[in-house]
Amino acid sequence: MLTTFAELLASRREGTAVGAFTCYDLEAAGAALQAAAGAAAGVILLIGGRSYTDPDGGLLLAALVAAARASDARACVQLDHCADLAVIEAALEGGAGAVMADGSELPYDENAAFVERAAELARRHGAGVEAELGHLSGDEDVATAVAAGALTDPAEAADFVARTGADCLAVSIGNVHGTYRGAPRLDWDRLEAIRSAVATPLSLHGASGIPDEMVQRTIATGVGKINVNTELRTAYLGATAETLPAVLEGSRLNALHAAQSAAVERVVAAKLRAFGPGGVP
């Protein structure tokens, strides 16, 4: 069932975070929703900015919204990482329940002004807006090993949230998009300082590859939304490679899709357990 971004974030139990999972097709979306329904957990279906601006991106957004509406799980569809107000407005008009207005590559004042304008658009549609302060290295759609980018300044966080009206703040504390160059090293003091500065829910992007115990520590320190992408793609493509030889005879496409969905569902189910009370494995 469709649920607002604000409701998902506000209704999470203490010691938990809402899982947000990038969906490139309905196999992944259906798997995420099935896992969420099984865990009685709310979930966010992410559609990447580049996926949405592809020729059939509007159809994918509409399909994700329809799948979320029909699911037993509480779900919201969010446009992820977009730096174009026209694209953000189109996604909101197309049914997105939240947008990630990413001005993180802009100077501070320009980033704040961009997010403020995006928040005004979102409010007109009853939708939520997420922003990023600092900048995460890497690519949301291509997994390469990178080092951490510009870290979030706790001294700027309160002013930024107040100026922008953001419902959720994505932080850069050593996390990256894609894969990590070496073991992940998160700046715990920085995260605690950010949490002390703002009451707005915090978001952790680049969770793929961060050990569950570290993820649980971020939740305990105030992170309320966690994005997962790379591990889903790895599972999806691994199932494709493993299953494809057996299904080529007879062109059994349904069997391939079933294997892809099952692989993604296992990952999402494991993540939702890790994001739950106590990080139950």
User: Residue 183 burial (CB < 10 Å; 0-12/13-18/19+)?
Assistant: exposed
- Other beta carbons less than 10 A from residue 213's beta carbon: 9
**What single DSSP character describes residue 201?**
P
Query: Are the beta carbons of 65 and 91 closer than 8 angstroms?
Result: no
User: Residue 189 burial (CB < 10 Å; 0-12/13-18/19+)?
Assistant: exposed
- Other beta carbons less than 10 A from residue 196's beta carbon: 13
The amino acid that residue 268 corresponds to is V
Query: Are the beta carbons of 31 and 261 closer than 8 angstroms?
Result: yes
The amino acid that residue 260 corresponds to is Q
Point out the catalytic residue in the list 25, 56, 72, 80: 80
d(CA 218, CA 25): 29
d(CA 94, CA 96): 6
**What single DSSP character describes residue 277?**
G
d(CA 183, CA 185): 6
Residue carrying the six token digits 């999806």: 236
CA dihedral 6, 162, 104, 89 (to 10 degrees): 50
2 strand-pairing partners? 75
Query: Are the beta carbons of 2 and 38 closer than 8 angstroms?
Result: no
Specify whether 80 is catalytic: yes
Catalytic residues: 80
